[in-house]
């Protein structure tokens, strides 16, 4: 049984009730992540330089290569997907904070 944590235009995140783990849907693939891997995923996304996507010299093709879970998965994302991914990862953790505030 999985509960939706957050959904954006391209991605969705779930938490497993039994497995104490997370699932993230990216480009038609469902990736299972431990919390540690989710944090590493967040760190990678935050480190993406979005401005470079609008600079032809810094990022000529406007793509981002993202490896996940100790390079078990590899994704090639375009600019729109990267913008959405940055909002998506923030959304996951904001939902958790809101949940904490409501339950205090």
Partner 1 sequence: MKDLVRQKLSINVDVMDMLNEQIAKEAHSSSIYLAMASWCDHNALNNSAKFFYDQAEEEREHMMKIFRFINDNGGTSYSPEVSNIPHDYNSLEEIFESALGQEINITKSIHNIVLKCRKVNDLATENFLQWFVKEQMEEEQTMRKALDLFELMGTDGIALKLIDERIPTIKG
Rule CB under 8 A: which residues touch partner 1?
A: 3, 5, 15, 17, 20, 22, 35-36, 38-40, 42-43, 46, 92-93, 96-97, 99-101, 103-104
Q: Which is nearer to partner 1, 20 or 60 (CB)?
A: 20
Q: State the minimum distance, in angstroms, from the CB of residue 83 to partner 1.
A: 20
- Minimum CB distance to partner 1 smaller for 56 or for 98: 98
Q: Which is nearer to partner 1, 18 or 60 (CB)?
A: 18
Nearest approach, Cβ of residue 90 and partner 1 (Å): 9
DSSP annotation string for the chain: -EEEEEE-SS-EEEEETTTS-EEEEETTEEEEE-HHHHHHHHHHHHHS-SGGGG-TTT-TT-EEEEEETTTTEEEEEEHHHHHHHHHHHHHHHHHHHHHHHHH-
């Amino acid at each position: 049984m999985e509960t939706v944590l957050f959904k954006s235009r391209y991605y969705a995140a779930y938490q497993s009730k039994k497995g104490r783990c997370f699932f993230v849907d990216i480009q038609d693939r469902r990736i299972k992540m431990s919390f540690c891997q989710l944090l590493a995923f967040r760190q990678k996304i935050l480190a993406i330089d979005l401005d470079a996507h609008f600079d032809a010299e810094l990022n000529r093709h406007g793509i981002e290569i993202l490896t996940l879970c100790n390079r078990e998965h590899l994704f090639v994302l375009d600019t729109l997907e990267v913008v959405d991914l940055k909002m998506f990862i923030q959304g996951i953790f904001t939902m958790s904070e809101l949940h904490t505030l409501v339950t205090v």
